Amino acid sequence: MAADQLTPALIGVGGVIIGAILVWAREWISSQQTQKKHARYLAVRVVCILHIYGDQCAKVAQDDGHIIDHQSGEYVAPQAKMPPNPVFPGDIDWKSIDHKLAYRILSLPIKSQEADILIGFAFAAEESPPYFEKAFEVRQYQYARLGLEAISIARELRIMFEIPEREGMLSTPYSTMQSIIAQVEERGVSN
C-alpha cells in the first residue's frame, strides 16, 4: 500500500521539478535573446560613433601643420581640428557585451584626454617655434593611435555582431595611420 501511494507522490514531485526547470529554461532563453538584442543595438550605435571618431583622428594624424601663405611665406598651424572625445549614448546596455570590450570602448575618451595633455606638453616644450615639428609629430602619433584603436574596436564589433562594412563612404585610412605611427616611432618622437 505504501508503494502505491509513493508512486503518485513521486510523479507529482517530478512534474513540479520538470515544470520549474522548463520555466527557468524559458526565462533564461528569453533573457539571453534580450541581452543579444541589446548587445547588437549597442554595437550598431558604437560602430557609427567610432567610425566618425576614427575618421576625425585620421585627419589629425595626417596634419603636419604646414600651410603656405604667399604673402608672408611658410608658417605652421594646425589644419585639422582635434576631434571631441567620443560620446556614447546613455540608452545602451553596457552589461550586454564582454566587460573587457566595454572597457576598451569606454576608455577611449580617457585616452583622448591623455593624448591632448601630451600634445599640450609637446607644444609648450618645443624648442623651435614657429615650426613645432616635434610637437606636430607627437600630435600625429597620438591621434593615429586613437584612430587605430577606434577603428579596431569598430571592426571587432562589426565582425562579432555581423554588421556590414560601410559602403559608399570613404574608408578610414587605416594603413596611413599605421605608417604615421611607424615613422614617428622610428624617429623616437612618440610622446
Span 6-65, pLDDT tens digits: 677 677 777 778 877 877 777 777 666 777 888 899 999 999 999 999 999 999 999 888
CA distances from 83 to 42, 136, 156 (A): 22, 15, 22
Burial class (CB in 10 A: 0-12, 13-18, 19+), 61: buried
Are 84 and 146 contacting, i.e. CB atoms less than 8 angstroms apart? no
Is residue 172 in some structural domain?
A: yes
What local confidence, expressed as pLDDT, does residue 129 receive? 64
Is residue 28 in some structural domain?
A: no
| pLDDT score of 144 more than 90 | yes
**Beta partners for 74?**
68
What local confidence, expressed as pLDDT, does residue 69 receive? 65
What local confidence, expressed as pLDDT, does residue 30 receive? 67
What local confidence, expressed as pLDDT, does residue 72 receive? 66
Choose between 30 and 161: higher pLDDT: 161
3-class SS at 20? helix
- Please name which of 76, 73, 75 lies closest in space to residue 65, comparing C-alpha atoms: 76
Are 139 and 119 contacting, i.e. CB atoms less than 8 angstroms apart? yes
Query: Other CB atoms closer than 10 Å to residue 47's CB: what's the count?
Result: 20
Are 95 and 103 contacting, i.e. CB atoms less than 8 angstroms apart? no
Are 47 and 158 contacting, i.e. CB atoms less than 8 angstroms apart? yes
**5-9, 66-70, 157-161, 186-190 — which is least confidently predicted?**
66-70
The total number of structural domains in the chain stands at: 1
Is residue 1 in some structural domain?
A: no
Q: Which residues of 68-102 are buried (b: 16+ CB within 10 A; e: fewer)?
A: eeeeeeeebebebebbeebebeeebebebbeeebb
Q: What is the pLDDT of residues 66-120, one digit of tens each?
A: 766 656 666 677 888 999 999 999 888 999 999 999 999 999 999 999 999 999 9
Is residue 5 in some structural domain?
A: no
Is residue 4 in some structural domain?
A: no
Is residue 27 in some structural domain?
A: no
Is residue 18 in some structural domain?
A: no
Q: Mean per-residue pLDDT for 134-143?
A: 92
Q: Mean per-residue pLDDT for 166-190?
A: 73
What local confidence, expressed as pLDDT, does residue 181 receive? 86
| pLDDT score of 127 more than 70 | no
pTM score of the predicted model: 0.78
- Please name which of 103, 51, 63, 108 lies closest in space to residue 85, comparing C-alpha atoms: 108
Is residue 66 in some structural domain?
A: yes
- Residue-number span of the structural domain to which 126 is assigned: 37-187
